[in-house]
A = this chain, B = another copy of it.
Amino acid sequence: MKVGIIGAGRIGKVHAKNISMFVPEMEIKTIADPFMDEQTEAFAKKYKIAKVTKDAKEIINDPEIEAVLICSSTDTHSGYIIEAAKAGKHIFCEKPIDYDLKKVREAIDTAKKAGVKFQIGFCRRFDHNHHAVYKMVRDGKVGKVNIIKISSRDPQPPAIDYVKVSGGIFYDMMIHDFDMARFLAGSEVTEVNAVGSVLVDPLIGEAGDVDTAVVTLKFKNGAIGVIDNSRKAVYGYDQRVEVFGSKGCARNENDIPHTAVLFDEKGTCCENTYKIMWDRYTDAFVAEMQAFADAVGNDSETPVTGMDGLYPVLMAAAATKSLKEGRPVKISEVE
């Protein structure tokens, strides 16, 4: 299966490398980026990508290419989805689909009508630790789900220029956790309440955003969820989930680079978790791409559908509104 990658930034290159090393079913024919440069050309050569171009159309109009990976900036997602779908290509698109709910729906509808596979890049569903918790829940090990807790803290805040265009912490960062909450609960969220503060960097506040946020979720089935986000955890990329139910509780801890422990006069110490997303979610990026290849290859449903792309955006919209208005907001208010 020949694929094209639109967007040769960090995430586009990670997918390209993973496909070339670990997904034998796929062959990257073309990588497109308006800012194509020598470094990317060298990258393409190293990973045996046949063609580089500044024009995404050369992917979309290439009849040999069966599937497209959309790794460009968020504002271009829905446009490329629609074009690719109309060209009959299967689509893998990075999250979020768009900040504009109308555009999100239009993209989903177009893909649906075109009958192409459509997968959203919520990579954490494929992480070995989170997935193990999910499997415990799905296998009934915790019984009926009562409480879901998610901690998700970045090691460093992004650059202020990025913060300004990011859509805010709920669209940019917590959107992964909104997806994780739905994934773990097996039920839809009906209401959110957001609390936020500027505790990490006043510039984030000046940019109109918060850097620390706690959001509570009500699920249709009565379960309650709570997500906490911080833009800065000095000890690393902190990513834990906990699902508490009638029969037990499933929790995961962060990965650490090794299991060695030192016992000395000062105490008992081991290494911190990873500080870089790519180190932490190495296996997840490979697994999501393999899953996409499988869905296309076996003509089966993708594990993260277009609708799975829509709901977290609704939750982000409701959380944004909740924070602004200081009250719980129903998902139905933003639909």
Query: Which residues of A are interface residues toward B (Cβ below 8 A)?
Result: 21-22, 24, 46, 128-129, 131-133, 136, 141-142, 144, 146-147, 149, 151, 153, 193, 195-200, 212-214, 216, 218, 222-226, 228, 230, 232-236, 238, 244, 246-272, 326-328
Could you tell me the distance between the alpha carbons of A246 and B234 in the complex, rounded to whole angstroms? 7
Query: Which chain B residues border A261 with CB–CB below 8 Å?
Result: 250-253
Instruction: Using A235-B263, A259-B252, A264-B234 as known contacts, say yes or no to A224 and B247 having CB atoms under 8 A apart.
Output: no
Query: Which chain B residues border A252 with CB–CB below 8 Å?
Result: 258-261
Contact A197 B224 (CB under 8 A): yes
Could you tell me the distance between the alpha carbons of A129 and B224 in the complex, rounded to whole angstroms? 27
Instruction: Using A195-B193, A233-B249, A328-B327 as known contacts, say yes or no to A263 and B259 having CB atoms under 8 A apart.
Output: no
Instruction: Using A212-B146, A263-B272 as known contacts, say yes or no to A218 and B195 having CB atoms under 8 A apart.
Output: yes
Could you tell me the distance between the alpha carbons of A129 and B246 in the complex, rounded to whole angstroms? 26
Query: Which chain B residues border A228 with CB–CB below 8 Å?
Result: 147, 149, 224, 226, 244
Could you tell me the distance between the alpha carbons of A245 and B321 in the complex, rounded to whole angstroms? 26
- The number of times this chain is found in the oligomer is 4
Query: Which chain B residues border A268 with CB–CB below 8 Å?
Result: 235, 256, 269-272
Contact A251 B265 (CB under 8 A): no
Contact B249 A253 (CB under 8 A): no
Contact B264 A235 (CB under 8 A): yes
Nearest B residue to A225 via CB reads B214
Contact B222 A198 (CB under 8 A): yes
Query: Which chain B residues border A197 with CB–CB below 8 Å?
Result: 146, 222-224
Could you tell me the distance between the alpha carbons of A259 and B264 in the complex, rounded to whole angstroms? 17
Question: Smallest CB–CB gap between A27 and chain B, Å?
Answer: 13
Q: Select A129's contact among B196, B260, B263, beta carbons within 8 Å.
A: B260
Instruction: Using A235-B249, A262-B141 as known contacts, say yes or no to A216 and B193 having CB atoms under 8 A apart.
Output: yes
Nearest B residue to A192 via CB reads B195
Could you tell me the distance between the alpha carbons of A103 and B265 in the complex, rounded to whole angstroms? 42
Q: Select A216's contact among B46, B214, B266, beta carbons within 8 Å.
A: B214
Knowing that A129-B259, A149-B228, A214-B225 touch, tell me 16 more A-B residue pairs with CB under 8 angstroms. Answer: A24-B46, A128-B258, A142-B262, A146-B199, A147-B228, A212-B224, A214-B226, A230-B244, A235-B248, A235-B264, A250-B261, A251-B261, A267-B269, A267-B270, A267-B272, A269-B270
Instruction: Using A129-B258, A254-B259, A263-B251 as known contacts, say yes or no to A199 and B153 having CB atoms under 8 A apart.
Output: no
